Amino acid sequence: MQVELDSYDRKILVLLQEDASLSSAQIAEQVGLSQSPCWRRIQRMKDEGIIRAQVTLLDRKKIGLNTQIFAQVKLNAHGRSNFTEFTEAIRGFPEVLECYVLMGAVDFMLRIVAADIEAYERFFFEKLSLVPGIQEVNSVVALSEIKSTTCLPVVR
C-alpha cells in the first residue's frame, strides 16, 4: 500500500538516503522545519515502514570483494514446487546480495559478490550448485560498474 508523502517528507527522505547520519536538527534546517516536527515525521516514516533501516554502505572493492556476478537460475519442475526451500537456501548465502523472482525463461536473478573468479567458482560448486531443484545457472561477470545507487527517486 502506497503512503502519501508531502514535499517535506520527500525532502527528508532524499537527505536520509544521501546521509543517514544527519541529525534531525540538521535535516530540519535543510528542509525548512523546526527540529520537533522533523523528528516526528522521521519517526512516523519509520513506524509506517517507509524507512526500513539506516545502514552503513561499504565499498566492496576496498574490503576485497572485487568481482560481481549476475546469475540467472532456472529451476526444474521439482524445484519449482519447492520454491520455499530454494529461497531459504539463497537467503542463507552472504555472497548473494540480491535475489529476484523473474517471469520468463529463467526463474531467478542473483547478484553475487566474491573476492575473485576463483572465489566465485568455489561458491558455485560448494554452495549454489548443491541447492536442490536447480536445473541451470548462467553466470555473467560484471567488468565494471557504471552506476550503483541505493537512492530511490522520491522527489516528484
Q: Per-residue pLDDT tens, the chain, 156 aa: give them.
A: 788 899 999 999 999 999 999 999 999 999 999 999 999 999 999 999 999 999 999 999 999 999 999 999 999 887 677 788 999 999 999 999 999 999 999 999 999 999 999 999 999 999 999 999 999 999 999 999 999 999 999 976
- Asked if 68 and 35 sit in the same domain, the reply is no
> What is the CATH classification number for the domain harbouring 34?
1.10.10.10
Asked if residue 131 lies in contact with residue 86, where contact means CB atoms within 8 angstroms, the answer is yes
Q: What percent of the residues of the chain are helix, what percent strand, and what percent coil, each to the nearest 5?
A: 40, 20, 40
- Asked if 19 and 81 sit in the same domain, the reply is no
What's the pLDDT at 78? 73
Let me know if residue 75 belongs to a domain.
yes
Cα 79 from Cα 54, distance rounded (Å): 35
In this structure, what is the dihedral angle of CA atoms 16, 91, 101, 115, given to the nearest 10 degrees?
80
Let me know if residue 156 belongs to a domain.
no
What's the pLDDT at 116? 98
- Asked if 65 and 15 sit in the same domain, the reply is no
- Asked if 68 and 107 sit in the same domain, the reply is yes
Closest CA to 69 of 30, 124, 127, 126: 124
- Asked if 94 and 137 sit in the same domain, the reply is yes
What's the pLDDT at 156? 61
Residue spans of alpha helices (H) in the chain: 7-18, 24-31, 35-47, 77-81, 83-91, 117-126
Evaluate the CA torsion angle 138, 112, 147, 108 in order and state its sign: positive
What's the pLDDT at 82? 79
What's the pLDDT at 79? 65
- Asked if 67 and 111 sit in the same domain, the reply is yes
Count how many domains the chain has: 2
Let me know if residue 25 belongs to a domain.
yes
Structural domain span for residue 20: 7-47
